[in-house]
Amino acid sequence: MMINKRLISICKDSKKYIAFTVLCSWIGIVCNIIIIFFIGKLINTMAAGKRLPFSEQSFWETAKDFYIMEQISLLSAIIITAAALLVKLVSQHFYGKFSYLSSANARVTLRRRIYEKLLRLGGDYQKSERTSAIVQVSIEGVEQLEVYFGKYLPQFFYALLAPITLFMSIMSLSWQAALVFMLCVPLIPFSIIVIMRIAKRVLKVYWNNYANLGNTFLENLQGLTTLKVYGQDGQKHAEMNEEAESFRKITMKVLSMQLNSINVMDLIAFGGAAAGTIVGLYQFSAGHLEAGDLIIIILLSSEFFIPLRLLGSYFHIAMNGIAASDRIFALLDTEEKHQEDAQPLPDHEQLTIQLNNVHFSYDGKRQVLHNISFELTPGGLTAVVGESGSGKSTTAALLSGQLEPSSGSITVNGMDLHNVKREDLYNHLSFVSAHSHIFKGTILDNLLMAKPEATMEEIKQALKTARLAEFITQLPQGLETEVSENGSSLSGGQKQRLALARVILANRQAIIFDEATSNIDVESEEAIWEAIDELAKEKTILVISHRLACVKEAKVIHVLQSGHLVESGTHEMLLRKQGVYAQMILNQQQLESIREGKTSEAAIRNVSYETADH
């Protein structure tokens, strides 16, 4: 219970450093025992009436001839003591080094595991934890394990070894005192186990509150402008204060629990040392123990309990790490979409993706897609349209392998998408969403991530197709211009055009555009549509768009309504059908004419105001 086997087996490289740390501590206590024994034996010799004749002989001669134990002269004892002090110093130095190596190794191993897992999970990581919680767990949570590996584990094994070593040493002087010490020792781990049961509960709440606070903080920070616009920042401030207060309370609870348990352990440690010493004193007064031996027992009594007492202190800090490790394991255990035996995609010139009777639900309860079947055939433009919430983005996410159907199947060139290696799929297929991620770095860095070996000619061509070349040449630092986190130093349209240039440079066979032109300026929108039309001449393009006028030229348009595929065909065919698509076109035209009407009315009003002003 006090050892987390899984954690240790993951960080198995730390094991040898833990063993070395224990060895260093053990060498330290053996040195202490030797020194204390010499002091005790010297006192015994003096108490027996033997005098050091310093006035008659030189110090060295006196020390050489004065025997404190059979076969051990004072001079030998001084030399051995000096050597023991030196060894203790060296072992203390190495204790620090090995303790650090053990924890550093474990932290590196865990962070690498988390990172690799996140890479394998891709967008699925949110199934297990929220983004802020993952950041907390992998930074602070892993950091909390420093004490577990660097201090707690070595101390755990040392705390088993030290009492046995001391028991054997004291046994030679008084087996009764040694026995009393030994009987009191298990009371400390017993108290640790009792406290651990309470601690586990409290620490779980502590970590939940901590993660919630982090999440609220991140969300409020990201949405600060919206909160300010709606005057909700004060309200959110108050809510965050409440969360912070509950976090403060649970932190105080953890601290007071730690303090109380340290008090209990102190009571046991001092009580045990006192009990053993009383036995020693009793034996001394009865004449069964010499004065020096009693002093040895008194001096070693604290050593008996210090290792376990220290184990208790480390234990509380380590428990925090263990609670964090539960969250780390939850993340590491998140089911991965892909099996180890995933296959590479057979090399085809073109990509055909087929949806066969696909049903999908996010939560297993509400069906979002019902029995969808269609084919994304090679070359040209295919469109998926439908009202908001009809399931367009979900379809795009299924086609690009980000989601898996609840039932039915998706095949790529005849192969089940589930079995296709993700790297291989993305070597053939790209995806551009409404919020393409632009990374902190230069514009060139962002482009090169699509094709690190791209030539300047290819980059220029991609920028030209994405209608971004002119903008870049206007920048004083051109391609070397730094963009801030998530491209926040670029406009929405520039960001999307940069994402488009990146996808063009990647030169995949198929590209899915999911509302890639929503929420951007008209100029950028037109530029992107022109580029999409150009790309569709060579590649397989699937667009999801609410702008029906832009998909008129598509070779096939699929219409979704409440998760059902209700119509498929060309623009003309669908218009003739007078069904859902024709109605959508009509609605959009009406909406646009109302908008245009309003604009012209406003324009007329403005003109008349202006005329009146003049």
**Minimum CB distance to ligand ATP, residue 585 (Å):** 16
C-beta of 192 vs 397, nearer to ligand ATP: 397
What gap in Å lies between CA 325 and CA 288, rounded to an integer?
Answer: 53
Q: Judged by CB under 6 A, which of 394, 430, 436, 496 binds ligand ATP?
A: 394
Degrees to nearest 5, angle at CA 568 with 563 and 572: 135
Return phi, psi of residue 291, to 5°: -60, -45
Residue 362 binding ligand ATP, by CB under 6 A: yes
Q: Tell me the window of 28-36, 38-46, 83-91, 386-394 that interacts with ligand ATP (CB under 6 A).
A: 386-394
Q: Which of 546, 552 has the CB closer to ligand ATP?
A: 546
Nearer to ligand ATP, 316 or 392 (CB): 392
Q: Applying CB under 6 A, which part among 64-72, 261-269, 389-397, 593-601 lies near ligand ATP?
A: 389-397
Query: 480: closest CA among 520, 434, 426, 443?
Result: 443
Is residue 155 involved in binding ligand ATP (CB under 6 A)? no
- DSSP conformational letter for 419: G
Determine, following the binding rule CB under 6 A, whether residue 368 of this chain makes contact with ligand ATP: yes
Q: Which listed residue (150, 276, 292, 391) binds ligand ATP by CB under 6 A?
A: 391
Choice between 156 and 529, CB closer to ligand ATP: 529
Instruction: Determine, following the binding rule CB under 6 A, whether residue 365 of this chain makes contact with ligand ATP.
Output: no
Q: What count of residues does the chain have?
A: 614
For the bound state, the minimum distance from the C-beta of residue 592 to ligand ATP, rounded and expressed in Å, comes to 18
For 542, residues 6+ apart whose C-beta sits below 8 A from its C-beta are 376, 381, 382, 383, 384, 396, 399, 510, 511, 512, 513
**Best CA proximity match to 122, nearest among 511, 426, 488:** 426
Q: How far is the CB of 397 from ligand ATP (least distance, A)?
A: 8
Q: Should residue 398 be labelled a site residue for ligand ATP when binding is judged by CB under 6 A? A: no
Taking contact as CB under 6 A, which single stretch among the options 205-213, 342-350, 391-399, 443-451 is the one that binds ligand ATP? Answer: 391-399
Binding of ligand ATP by 386 (CB under 6 A): yes
Q: Measured between alpha carbons, how far is 53 from 62 in angstroms, rounded to an integer?
A: 6
Exposed e or buried b per residue across 459-485, where buried means at least 16 C-beta atoms within 10 angstroms of its C-beta:
bebbbebbbbbebbeeeeeebeeebee
Least distance in Å: CB of 518 to ligand ATP? Answer: 8
Q: Using the minimum distance from each CB to ligand ATP, give the nearer residue, 57 or 562.
A: 562
Contact between 392 and ligand ATP by CB under 6 A: the answer reads yes
Which residue of 390, 436, 465, 524 would you call a contact of ligand ATP, by CB under 6 A? 390
Of the candidates 346, 389, 478, 597, which one interacts with ligand ATP according to CB under 6 A? 389
By CB under 6 A, how many residues form the interface with ligand ATP? Answer: 11
What separation, in Å, do the N-terminal and C-terminal C-alpha atoms of the chain show?
88
Nearer to ligand ATP, 219 or 233 (CB): 219
**Do 289 and 280 touch, CB atoms closer than 8 A?**
yes
* Cα distance between residue 212 and residue 517, in whole Å: 34
Integer Cα distance of 166 and 304 in angstroms:
7
- Beta-sheet pairing, 540-544 with 380-386: parallel
Which of residues 293 and 514 has its CB atom nearest to ligand ATP in the complex? 514
Residue 443 neighbours by CB under 8 Å, 6+ apart:
472, 475, 478, 479, 480, 481, 483, 498
Query: Per CB under 6 A, which region of 10-18, 222-230, 385-393, 480-488 contacts ligand ATP?
Result: 385-393
Residue 433: DSSP 8-state: -
What residues have CB less than 8 Å from 386, skipping those under 6 apart? 392, 559, 560, 561
Using the contact rule CB under 6 A, the part of the chain among 85-93, 239-247, 347-355, 392-400 near ligand ATP is 392-400
Looking at 55, 58, 71, 388, which residue binds ligand ATP (CB under 6 A)?
388
Does the protein bind ligand ATP through residue 405 (CB under 6 A)?
no
Bridge partners of 384, per DSSP, are 544, 558
- In angstroms, rounded to a whole number, what is the distance separating the alpha carbons of residues 264 and 18? 28
Residues 526-585 that bind ligand ATP (CB under 6 A): 546
Q: Which is nearer to ligand ATP, 133 or 479 (CB)?
A: 133
Task: Supply the minimum distance, in Å, between the C-beta of residue 512 and ligand ATP.
Answer: 12
**Interface ranges with ligand ATP (CB under 6 A):** 362, 368, 386, 388-394, 546
